[in-house]
């Protein structure tokens, strides 16, 4: 796991455990104790706390930490839904039960975590309302906006230096568009000088990630997208 992806995973775990512990005025030591894995210390999570505070997702005091709504809840929902996030090892009963609690309180299936209305932890207060399920993408113009939004989010959240893997864009958009239509519209965005699709290979040369990239007879394999200046 790259450093950027690992850092993002730490932030998602921190938000999940904070939410599970009630979300408000949680003892920082208690939360850090739950976050720490074997051979880790509190220092391993200093950057995570700081990054989330800078993003407006949590509020820190000397000894306490609280989830800021709706930003913190929205970041948690998006993080759990993101294809790039995964637990690195066995998660244990507490984490599994926290995930079950999240799924049940959202009133959604495990495959669509974050798509429903986001609840405000144990208080049950509504924090943010979203559509129950993403709608299918029906036109090129709609796809263009969605693809650019996904590109910007992935580029920002994972510090991808303006070179976003196409497989990540495809997986984030998921079944809102067919595979062939995704390919056609991405190539149309390139033809319209919105994106530049670049060659190379994915970071670990995984066959499934290569399959979720784009291959054309003329240009061959294209694994990355770069947004061109408008």
Burial environment of residue 168 by CB neighbours within 10 A (0 to 12, 13 to 18, 19 or more): buried
Same domain, 90 and 12: yes
Domain that holds residue 217: 140-227
Model confidence band, residue 79 (pLDDT cutoffs 50, 70, 90): confident
Structural domains in the chain (count): 2
Please write the tens of the pLDDT for every residue from 42-52.
899 999 999 99
Same domain, 112 and 145: no
Same domain, 19 and 56: yes
**H-only helix segments in 24-178:** 28-35, 46-54, 71-81, 92-106, 140-157, 166-173
Q: How far apart are CA 25 and CA 22, in angstroms?
A: 8
Q: Which of 128, 157, 181 is the last residue of a domain?
A: 128
Model confidence band, residue 103 (pLDDT cutoffs 50, 70, 90): confident
Average pLDDT for residues 27-37, to the nearest whole number?
90
Same domain, 156 and 108: no
Same domain, 123 and 150: no
Same domain, 81 and 153: no
Reduced to 3 states (helix: H, G, I; strand: E, B; else coil), residue 150 is helix
Q: Which of 128, 150, 165 is the last residue of a domain?
A: 128
Same domain, 113 and 176: no
For the question of whether the overall pTM of this predicted structure is more than 0.75, the answer is: no
Same domain, 60 and 164: no
- Better pLDDT: 112 or 208: 208
Q: Which of 64, 96, 128 is the last residue of a domain?
A: 128
135 part of a folded domain: no
121 part of a folded domain: yes
CB 18 within 8 A of CB 67: yes
What number of CA atoms fall less than 13 Å from residue 229's CA on the CB side? Answer: 0
Same domain, 38 and 111: yes
CB 107 within 8 A of CB 116: yes
Reduced to 3 states (helix: H, G, I; strand: E, B; else coil), residue 209 is helix
Residue 53 tokens read as 């505070």
Same domain, 107 and 211: no
Say if residue 81's pLDDT is above 60.
yes
Same domain, 144 and 32: no
79 part of a folded domain: yes
DSSP classification of residue 70: T
Same domain, 106 and 159: no
Please write the tens of the pLDDT for every residue from 216-228.
888 799 999 999 9
């Amino acid at each position: 796991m790259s450093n950027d992806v690992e850092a993002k995973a730490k932030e998602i775990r921190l938000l999940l455990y904070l939410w599970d512990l009630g979300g408000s005025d949680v003892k920082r030591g208690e939360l850090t104790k739950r976050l720490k894995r074997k051979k880790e210390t509190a220092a391993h999570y200093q950057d995570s706390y700081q990054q989330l505070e800078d993003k407006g997702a949590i509020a820190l005091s000397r000894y306490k930490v609280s989830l800021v709504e709706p930003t913190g809840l929205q970041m948690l929902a998006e993080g759990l839904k993101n294809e790039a996030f995964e637990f690195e090892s066995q998660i244990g009963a507490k984490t599994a039960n926290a995930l079950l609690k999240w799924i049940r309180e959202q009133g959604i299936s495990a495959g669509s975590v974050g798509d429903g209305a986001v609840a405000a932890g144990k208080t049950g207060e509504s924090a943010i309302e979203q559509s129950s399920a993403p709608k299918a993408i029906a036109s090129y113009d709609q796809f263009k906006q969605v693809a650019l939004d996904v590109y910007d989010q992935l580029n920002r959240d994972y510090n991808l230096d303006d070179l976003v893997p196409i497989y990540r864009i495809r997986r984030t958009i998921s079944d809102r568009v067919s595979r062939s239509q995704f390919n056609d519209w991405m190539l149309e965005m390139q033809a319209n000088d919105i994106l530049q699709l670049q060659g190379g290979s994915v970071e670990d040369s995984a066959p499934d990630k290569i399959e979720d990239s784009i291959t054309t007879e003329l240009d061959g394999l294209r694994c990355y997208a770069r947004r061109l200046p408008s």
